A = this chain, B = another copy of it.
Amino acid sequence: MNYKLTLAFDGKEYSGWQFQKNAPTVQGKLTEVANKFFSSSATVTGCSRTDSGVHAENYVCNVKTDREISPTGVVKGMNTFLPPDIVIKECEIVPDTFHARYDCKSKEYRYKILNTETRDPFLASRVLHFPQPLDVEKMKKDAESLVGKHDFVSFMATGSKITDTVRTIYKAEVEENDGIITFSVSADGFLYNMVRIIVGTLIDVNLNRTSLTIKEIIEKKDRTYAGFTAGPSGLYLYKAEY
């Protein structure tokens, strides 16, 4: 059987999604729980890697195992074994060929900036606390110029071995609520650290730390013209579409 699971997790205590031998990871924890729950070896495939400390609202993975249990049973049963910082929200049975990564058509990330003078202890590992006031209206307009099919190599962490750096951004929106600025971005794919570098660049452009616009930084095709890499705590994998 092949189960498609939708999860939410608080990434604070995990070294990202991808299994590692000597560090706690979400994939590692989920595989351990699936093996126990199905009393059978299970293979867990995620829609994407995530960095250490990054969160997810609706992360999709598929679990292959030879046991058949109802989707409701999988949700209830696995949730009793999972730790409080990981929860399965939905489960459906999908064809054997379904692959959470290869079949993913687009993903949406959200990045939260707490733009208040005082930090919030309840959001400590959940946002980027940035006390210097940001111009939200300007950020909205700057974000718009990210939309479209572009070579986003300026926003890729150096050291990445990817050579095809063209991606299509479908949506890049900014909104502010109760001092939290949320940047939402969906695309057919993302380069390594792309969202975090875009956020750092939006902040740098917002504060006139660079004379270039977002459009000009894209055109430079050079990482050194983009901004800082915003920390992982503010980043959420929000959705994966199939």
Contacts and interface: CB of A to CB of B under 8 A. Distances in A.
Contact of A87 (B55, B86, B118): B118
Contacts of A126: 122
B118 A79 contact: yes
Contact of A10 (B10, B85, B124): B124
A95 interface: no
Interface in A92-125: 118-122, 124-125
A129 to B, nearest CB: 9
Interface string A62-102: 00000000000001000100001111010000000000000
A84 B125 CA distance: 8
Contacts of A120: 8, 87
A9 interface: yes
A45 B86 CA distance: 38
Contacts of A55: 122
Interface in A108-157: 118-122, 124-126
A10 B119 CA distance: 12
A19 to B, nearest CB: 19
Between A9, A86, A121, A122, the greatest number of chain B beta carbons within 10 A of the residue's beta carbon is seen for A121
B79 A121 contact: no
Contacts of A75: 118
A43 to B, nearest CB: 23
Contacts of A121: 8-10, 84-87
Contacts of A122: 8, 10, 55, 126
Contacts of A8: 120-122
Interface of A: 8-10, 55, 75, 79, 84-87, 89, 118-122, 124-126
24 contacts: A8-B120, A8-B121, A8-B122, A9-B121, A10-B121, A10-B122, A10-B124, A55-B122, A75-B118, A79-B118, A79-B119, A84-B119, A84-B121, A84-B124, A84-B125, A85-B121, A85-B124, A86-B121, A87-B118, A87-B119, A87-B120, A87-B121, A89-B118, A122-B126
